[in-house]
Amino acid sequence: MTEGPPELHRIGIVGMGYVGLTLAAALARRGFEVHGVDTQQAVLDSLSRGRAHIFEPGVEETFGEWVGRRIFLGPDLPDGGVDAAVVCVSTPVDETGHEPRLGNLAAAAEHIAKRCSPDTLVVVRSTVPVGATRSVVLPRLVDAWGSARLVMAPERTIQGQALRELVELPQVVGGLDDESLRLGLALFGRLTDRVVPVSNLETAELVKLANNCHTDVIYSYGNEVAGLTERLGLDPLEVIRAANLDYPRPDLARPGYVGGGCLSKDPYILLSVAGRVGRELPLVGAARKVNEDLPRHVAERVVELMGARPGDALLVLGWAYKGRPATDDMRGTPIASMTPVFADAGLRVLGHDPLVDAGVIRRYGGEPVDLAAGFAAADAVLVITDHREYQDLDVDALLPGSGIRLLYDSWRLLEPDRVTRHGVRYAALGYEPGAAR
């Protein structure tokens, strides 16, 4: 076993999307020298000014404090390489066959191979199919260096809490060999007190996929229950609360939209892995279909319940894929599947989100409005995202005098009685009191 560098201090991060951005901030807070690399000059320019291009609590403050001191940004890793290079590039799936595209992963490995040396610890942080670290990254390093120190350490944070979870969650690390694993554990042991060594690269890759697909399956069952209560005229939250109360079994999840960069993609990566080894995963595929079908189903119900007429205005509150913890992330957002339904019905869609830029709302087919103007102009309101701001809506001030006929409150943020006493129909996921089916 060769002796590694005495301390991993100079860290390169290839890819300054959500995963790389938050890791860079967390490492800088821990005293590391961080070199962030990205192919988009606009991203580099923004970050160099201390302005984060993605909303995440604490990130912008960290960059504002440490850019030029502990955080350095550029299109390439620095001359002389780094002690550790972390791959945080996107690994999307194609829109038709849902097969993973690993071009970014290969390009990142090639860049590291050119700019660094065999002494560099290479860390794959991106979500990848099982086997991709060994088959895509390793050959490019070995071709350039003859040998490599390589680990897989999957990112598992939730948006809105990333900087806290990066230091509190156990960090799973799988190594190419004992020396790689030792270095990987040493690196992440300086970020968090809890590191979990696993036996190889492939185990670490599967940990991330298994985590996210399990979450997708859990959420899909809550949505299945809601689909049934909608037909039976029952309240899904009443069923779920009663089922969970002091019952010593896994809790039922409440119904809700399931999106984001991970849950809308990772099940397809796992299904692709299973297909390569001749194994079907019907539960994973069915869960993803349930969760993907929900937004269009809700859009169709809103059109029907409001008695939509061409030219009617629908106010949509919340365009990011979730509101708790708050984010401006549009990956896997429900509105993408809903707007075609609204367009077919001839609706004018008004949009509001406290974090999503007006230009993004326009690109997704909405007219940006403030809350007061939206309620004044709307014939119906659809709450998609559970931002706390929407829970605090003063419907007693906003509804009187409006033309609103329906308020569809996806996350049950508002009290139904406060809505219906103004002559406005109230409905929610799986809950349509008074609806004739």
Within 8 A by CB and 6+ apart from 186, the residues are: 8
> Does residue 5 carry a pLDDT above 50?
no
Distance between CA 418 and CA 412 in Å, rounded? 12
Q: What is the pLDDT of residue 1?
A: 34
The first and second tokens of residue 37, run together, are 């690399």
Distance between CA 380 and CA 383 in Å, rounded? 10
DSSP 8-state symbol, 136: I
Of 103, 106, 91, nearest to 269 by C-alpha is 91
Banded pLDDT at 2 (limits 50, 70, 90): very low
Strand duo 10-14 + 425-427: pairing: unpaired
Distance between CA 27 and CA 34 in Å, rounded? 7
DSSP 8-state symbol, 294: H
Of 40, 117, 103, nearest to 74 by C-alpha is 40
The first and second tokens of residue 413, run together, are 């943020």
Fold assignment, 294-427:
Rossmann fold (3.40.50)
Q: What is the pLDDT of residue 353?
A: 98
Q: What is the pLDDT of residue 435?
A: 67
Q: What's the alpha-carbon Rg for the chain, to the nearest Å? A: 24
The domains of the chain are located at 10-199, 294-427
CATH number of 10-199: 3.40.50.720
DSSP 8-state symbol, 311: T
pLDDT tens figures, 22-75: 999 999 999 999 999 999 999 999 999 999 999 999 999 999 999 999 999 999
CATH topology agreement for domains 10-199 and 294-427: yes
pLDDT tens figures, 217-248: 999 999 999 999 999 999 999 999 999 999 99
> Does residue 279 carry a pLDDT above 60?
yes
Q: Are 269 and 91 in contact (CB under 8 A)?
A: yes
> Does residue 436 carry a pLDDT above 80?
no
H helices of 306-433, where? 335-344, 358-363, 371-377, 388-391, 395-398, 416-420
Q: How many CB atoms lie within 10 A of CB 358?
A: 14
